[in-house]
Each structure stands twice: as C-alpha cells, then as structure tokens.
Amino acid sequence: MHKSTSGSSLGPDGLDLTQSFFKPILNAAPPSPTKHHNKISVIGAGNVGMAIAQTILTQDLVDELVLVDAIQDKLRGEMLDLQHAAAFLPRTKIQASTDYAVTTGSDLCIVTAGARQLNGESRLNLLQRNVTLFKKIIPPLVRYSPHCVLLIVSNPVDVLTYIAWKLSGFSSNRVIGSGTNLDSSRFRFLIADHLDVNAQDVQAYIVGEHGDSSVALWSSISVGGVPVLSFLEKQQIAYEKEMLENIHKEVINGAYEVISLKGYTSWAIGYSVANLARTIMRNQRKIHPVSVLAKGFYGIDGGEVFLSLPAQLGRGGVLGVTNIHMTQDEMKRLKDSANTILEVQNHLGI
C-alpha cells in the first residue's frame, strides 16, 4: 500500500526541494546521537483506534504515528483525513499500511483490532476468533519492535492481554491491558456528580475484570484527600450500601448504554488510552488501574491471570503495583474476579 508521509519531495520526479528552500548552516554539528524520535503504532483503524490516534495527535506525544489495518481503502482514507489537519496539529509524521513493517522501531504498540461478534455467536467462540487474530498481529509487532511496550485495548481485554503476553515472549511488565482505566474514570465521574465536585479531585478505583465481575474499592475512595466512607461514619451520616452498589452498576452498564444509543464507544476510550500513552511515553510514573499480571498480588495465586490493579506506569511499562488498602470483602471479590477470568482461559485450553 502507498504510504504518504510529511516529506519535502514536491518537485518533478520527487525532487527534494529542501536544499533549494533553505540555506544550510556552515560547519553545523550533527544532531545528538541520543534517541529523541518517539513512535506509536495503532493497530486497528476502527472507531476506537481512530479516536485513540486523534487524541494522541492533539496531545503532541510523538514524532511519528503509524496506523495499521487490514482494510486498505479505509486505512488510507483515515490517514489522509488526519494528514489534512496538519496545519492545526503539532507536527507529526503520519503513516499507514497493511504491512506491519511500517511499525518498525515503535516505542508503544496499541492494539485495538478485534473480530466483531456475529449474530447468535457465543462469547467463547468470539474470543477464540480473536485469539486467532492475535496470532497474526502480535508476532510481527514483536519482530519489528522488539523493545516496545504492548498496550492491549481489544475486548475481552484481560484475556487478550494474557494471550498477547504469551505470544510476545515479553516480560510481563511490557504487556499492559487498558483494563479498568476507563471504568475508574466513569466511577470518579459518578461520585463527583453525586457530591458536586470536580472528578479530578476524586481518588477512586475499579479493579479486577474489565466486565461484570469488576470490584469497586469503596474503602479507599477519597475526595480532596478526605476518605469518604470513614468521614461519613465519623460524622454519623447514614448511607445505604444499595446506593453504592447502584453506582457500581452504573459504571458496569455505562458502555452498554453508550453502545445502545450510538452503536459503539469511542471518545472516552480514546482519551483513556491516550492518557495511558502519555504516562508511558513521558515516563510520568503515574498510577493507573490497568490490566497486569496479577499472580502474587493481593493473594491471587491460582494461576497466571491479567486483571486490573492500581499500577505505576512509565517508559518501561509497569513499574510496580500499588499496595492499596482493601477490606476482606473487596479482597474476596477480587479473587472471585480472577477466577472468572481464569475459567474463560481454561475453556480456551491455554
């Protein structure tokens, strides 16, 4: 497929006009040999992939952004559409191809590609088709970018992150799932909405499976540094556990509601993943609830399973898992969530 880049070959026969347009500096020193070229590849140019790509571009995170997809015409159309916005965006080289060689030297590879569920198809059969798809995606990414971090967004994200880890041969810290980073954002929004505060002042996590068995960590929620539940108890302010459960249900059903209304989710996951990309590429060492290899943390020892835990992220991927306080009930729910994911993996025969 033809790749269009931001080169300066505008003259006849591809003549490079740079030498004519600019007068060179005499005796100029060469650039520093230190690597400053940042590159992200997004695999899958669907609604989610393009929302991620667009958000990354607006945040000035990379020197080069690559799109890979199997549908050639749509892929080229998306690439051109983004390139035509160059005057309004930070300068970024945008490339697209159906050939994975275009991803060579990526620092971060974001995988959003996935098979669509067919009418009447079981979730297990859909997952098996996605496993087959990942066997075509992950090996070439690893071959062309052996030092990259893999960030998996495709659903079911926890199981597919595990699959990507197995297929890649990478250390577990370099394979991350987007997990409950977005769920936690929805959680913070709903709490902020109830308390009429800014969501950025709410510290709250959803952990475990990105799905129905996720766990809301109510015991560690704070607003402006004030632990919410312990504050309510000290002030003898009554609250109903049913209300808390309803907020958690709203988090779980949030994506389903958006899909029922507009057909798909895109913008929130786009911002969520771009936020993760920023933390990784800028080595910000921020804590995000993302899908990581959970074995050995919080009493999870039944097998190799990826699920979301609050983890510190940086240029090397996962730098560590936070020792966050959990009640006995929360710990039990987290282990149950791990078992739910392991059961699916066992059905796959992996």
End-to-end CA distance of the chain: 35
Distances (CA, A) of 171 to 37, 90, 180, 220, 276: 24, 33, 21, 30, 19
The 8 Å CB, 24+ separation contacts for 60-63 are 60/90, 60/92, 61/274, 61/277, 61/278, 61/281, 61/282, 62/38, 62/92, 62/281, 63/36, 63/37, 63/38, 63/39, 63/92, 63/93
Residue 169 assigned to a binding site = no
CB 206 within 8 A of CB 184: yes
130 annotated as belonging to a binding site for a ligand: yes
- Is residue 74 classed as helix, strand or coil in its secondary structure? helix
253 assigned binding-site residue: no
303 in a labelled binding site: no
Q: Is 117 helix (H, G, I), strand (E, B) or coil?
A: coil
Catalytic residue among 36, 37, 210, 288: 210
What is the Cα 208 distance to its own chain's centre?
A: 16
Closest CA to 264 of 96, 46, 101: 46
Query: What phi, psi does 39 have (nearest 5°)?
Result: -135, 130
Residue 46 assigned to a binding site? yes
- Distance of alpha carbon 28 from alpha carbon 153, whole angstroms: 44
Q: Are 204 and 310 spatial neighbours (Cβ–Cβ below 8 Å)?
A: no
Q: How far apart are CA 275 and CA 180, in angstroms?
A: 13
Tell whether residue 42 is among the known ligand binding residues.
Answer: no
**Residue recorded with tokens 């059905």:** 347
CB count within 10 Å of CB 51 equals 22
Active-site annotation holds for 37: no
Nearest alpha carbon to residue 41 among 118, 127, 101, 115: 101
**Residue 222 among known ligand-binding residues:** no
Question: According to the annotation, is 47 in a ligand binding site?
Answer: yes
- Measured between alpha carbons, how far is 292 from 177 in angstroms, rounded to an integer? 7
Is 349 annotated as a binding-site member?
A: no
Tell whether residue 69 is among the known ligand binding residues.
yes
* Residue 48 labeled ligand binder: yes
Q: Taking the CA of residue 270 as centre, how many other CA atoms within 13 Å lie in the half-sphere pointing to its CB?
A: 20
Residues annotated as binding site for NAD(+)? 44-49, 69, 130, 153-155
* Residues tagged active-site: 210
Q: Where is the binding site, in residues?
A: 44-49, 69, 130, 153-155
